[in-house]
C-alpha cells in the first residue's frame, strides 16, 4: 500500500530539477489550493522552469495530478499506517493508534491544510475520470484499514461481536474529519477529538478491558503501556 519517500522533499525550497521535486512542490500547492489550482504553466512559472521543460516530465496535466495524488497517498500511509504495522499493533490498540496517528499527521503539518484527501474527495465526489477514481480509492483504502482493525478487535474479544465494524469505521472517520475542520477554524490541538474517539471505543469494548482504562486519554495510554510490559 505504501512506498516510503523522503519527506524533506515535500517542503524543500531549492529549485526543483527532477520529477520527484516537481511533484513535491505541486503537492504543496494542491494541498492548500486544491488540485484545480494546478496547471503546467502556473507550476512552471512558480518553479522558474520552462513550460516545455516541465511538460517533458509529465506530458499532461492529468499525469501531473496522478503523480500528486500518489505522493499524497504515500505520505499519509507512511506516517499513519507503516509505523503501526512495524510495531505489530493489533485489535483495539490498533484502532486507537490509527486514529491517534491520523491526528498526529494533521498536527505536525506533514502537508499544508492537514488531511489532503478531505478536500480532494469533496472536489471530485461527483466527477468521473481517472483522478476522481484514484482519490476515491485512497479514501476507501483508509476506511477499510479502520474497518479491518475493528473487525480484528471483535475476534480478539476486545470489541463486542455484535458491533457493526463497517458502521463504526464510518463513525470514527467522521470524527476525524470533523476534528480537522475544527482545528482549521480554531487552530487548537485535537485533545477533545481524541477524547471523543476514546469514548467511542469505550462504548464498544468488552469486559476484557477494565472500565477505568477509558476514564481519560492519559488513563488509556497508561493501560496500553502496562499491558505491553
* Domain ranges within the chain, ordered by starting residue: 1-69, 81-227
Are 162 and 204 within 8 A, CB to CB? no
Beta bridge mates, 128 = none
Are 119 and 41 within 8 A, CB to CB? no
Rounded CA separation 171/135 (Å): 20
Please state the pTM of the whole predicted model.
0.85
Instruction: Please give the CATH architecture assigned to the domain spanning 1-69.
Output: Orthogonal Bundle (1.10)
Length of the chain, in residues: 229
pLDDT top residue among 143 and 31:
143
Q: Which of 10-14, 52-56, 95-99, 145-149 has the lowest mean pLDDT?
A: 10-14
Mean of the pLDDT values across residues 174-181?
82
In tens, the pLDDT along 94-127 reads: 999 999 999 888 888 888 777 788 878 877 777 7
Provide the pLDDT confidence category of residue 154 given band limits of 50, 70 and 90: very high
Mean of the pLDDT values across residues 31-56?
83
Provide the pLDDT confidence category of residue 184 given band limits of 50, 70 and 90: low
CATH for 81-227, options being 3.40.718.10, 1.10.357.10, 3.30.70.100, 3.50.50.60: 1.10.357.10
Rounded CA separation 126/177 (Å): 19
Mean of the pLDDT values across residues 130-150?
93
pLDDT at 197 over 80: yes
Task: Give helix then strand counts, H and E, for the chain.
Answer: 11, 0
Are 99 and 197 within 8 A, CB to CB? yes
Nearest residue to 65 (alpha-carbon basis) of 15, 116, 110:
116
| Mean predicted lDDT score pLDDT of the chain | 85
Amino acid at each position: 500500500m505504501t512506498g516510503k519517500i523522503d519527506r524533506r522533499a515535500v517542503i524543500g525550497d531549492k529549485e526543483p530539477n527532477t520529477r520527484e521535486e516537481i511533484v513535491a512542490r505541486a503537492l504543496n500547492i494542491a494541498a492548500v489550493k486544491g488540485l484545480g489550482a494546478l496547471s503546467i504553466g502556473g507550476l512552471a512559472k512558480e518553479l522558474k522552469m520552462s513550460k516545455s521543460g516541465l511538460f517533458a516530465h509529465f506530458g499532461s496535466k492529468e499525469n501531473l495530478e496522478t503523480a500528486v495524488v500518489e505522493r499524497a497517498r504515500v505520505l499519509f500511509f507512511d506516517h499513519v499506517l507503516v509505523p503501526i504495522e512495524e510495531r505489530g499493533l493489533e485489535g483495539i490498540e490498533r484502532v486507537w493508534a490509527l486514529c491517534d496517528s491520523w491526528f498526529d499527521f494533521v498536527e505536525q503539518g506533514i502537508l499544508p491544510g492537514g488531511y489532503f484527501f478531505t478536500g480532494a474527495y469533496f472536489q471530485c465526489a461527483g466527477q468521473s475520470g481517472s483522478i476522481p477514481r484514484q482519490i476515491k480509492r485512497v479514501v476507501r483504502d483508509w476506511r477499510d484499514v479502520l474497518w479491518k482493525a475493528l473487525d480484528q478487535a471483535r475476534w480478539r474479544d476486545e470489541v463486542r461481536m455484535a458491533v457493526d465494524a463497517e458502521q463504526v469505521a464510518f463513525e470514527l472517520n467522521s470524527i476525524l474529519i470533523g476534528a480537522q475542520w475544527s482545528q482549521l477554524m480554531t487552530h487548537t490541538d485535537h485533545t477533545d477529538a481524541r477524547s471523543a474517539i476514546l469514548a467511542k471505543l469505550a462504548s464498544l469494548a468488552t469486559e476484557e478491558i477494565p472500565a477505568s482504562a477509558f476514564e481519560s486519554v492519559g488513563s488509556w495510554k497508561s493501560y496500553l503501556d502496562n499491558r505491553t510490559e
